[in-house]
Amino acid sequence: MNGLQTNNAPHSSVVVPHFIFGAISLLVLAVLIILADESLLQAYFNTKLIAITHIAVLGWASMIVFGALYQLVPVVFETALFSEKLAKVTFWFSAVSVLFLSYSFWVGSYVTLLPYASICMFLSLLLFVVNILLTYKNATLKNIKSTFVITSVFWLLITELIGTLIALNFKFNFLSEIHLHYLKIHATIGLIGWFVLLIIGVGATLIPMFLISHELKEKKLTFAYYLVNGGLIVAVINWFLFKNELIDYLIPLLIISGVLFFVSFIYDSYKKRLRKKLDVGMQYSMLAIAAIFVPFILIGFIVLNTSFEVEFIYRIITFYGFSIVFGLITTLILGQTYKTLPFIVWLNKYQKLVGKTKTPLPRELYSEKIANIQIIIYFVFIASFVIGLLFNQLLFIKIGSYALLLVAILYNVNIFKMITHKVKSVEND
Amino acid sequence: MTKEEITQFELELLELLKNVMDPEIEINIVDLGLIYELNYDEGKGEVDIDLTFSTPSCPLGETIISNIKETIAQKHPSIYTNVNVVFEPKWSTANISEEGKKILGM
Residue boundaries of the structural domains of chain B: 3-90
CATH 3.30.300.130 fits B3-90, yes or no: yes
Helix (H, G, I), strand (E, B), or coil: what is residue A101?
Answer: helix
* pTM score: 0.88
Burial of B29 (0-12, 13-18, 19+ CB in 10 A): buried
Burial of B42 (0-12, 13-18, 19+ CB in 10 A): exposed
Structure confidence by residue, pLDDT tens digits, A195-254? 999 999 989 988 988 888 877 888 999 999 999 999 999 999 998 888 888 888 899 999
* Nearest CB to B59; choose among A1, A9, A208: A9
* Nearest CB to A361; choose among B26, B69, B92: B26
Please determine, for residue A1, whether its predicted confidence score (pLDDT) is greater than 80: no
d(CA A231, CA A151): 14
B-contacting residues of A 6-35, CB under 8 Å? Answer: 6-7, 9
* Nearest CB to B71; choose among A5, A6, A355: A355
| Residues ≥6 apart with Cβ < 8 Å to B18 | B28, B30, B31
d(CA A87, CA A81): 9
Q: Which of A15, A20, A17 is nearest to A68 (CA)?
A: A15
Structure confidence by residue, pLDDT tens digits, A394-410? 999 999 999 999 999 99
- Asked if B71 reaches chain A (Cβ–Cβ under 8 Å), the answer is yes
Structure confidence by residue, pLDDT tens digits, A279-310? 888 988 999 999 999 998 888 888 776 677 88
pLDDT at residue A54 in the model: 94
d(CA A27, CA A126): 26
Tally of residues, chain A: 429
**Residue in A72, A212, A277, A282 to test binding to B, most B beta-carbons within 10 Å:** A212
Hey, which residues does A42 pair with through a beta bridge? none
Hey, which residues does A202 pair with through a beta bridge? none
- Asked if B20 reaches chain A (Cβ–Cβ under 8 Å), the answer is yes
- Asked if B85 reaches chain A (Cβ–Cβ under 8 Å), the answer is yes
**pLDDT bracket for residue A368 (50, 70, 90):** very high
- Measured between alpha carbons, how far is residue A252 from residues A248, A303, B102 in Å? 8, 9, 45
Alpha helices in A272-354 (DSSP H): 280-290, 293-303, 310-322, 331-350
The predicted complex's ipTM stands at 0.78
Hey, which residues does B51 pair with through a beta bridge? B35, B85
Task: Nearest chain A residue to B69 by CA: give it.
Answer: A355
Average pLDDT of the segment spanning A110-120: 94
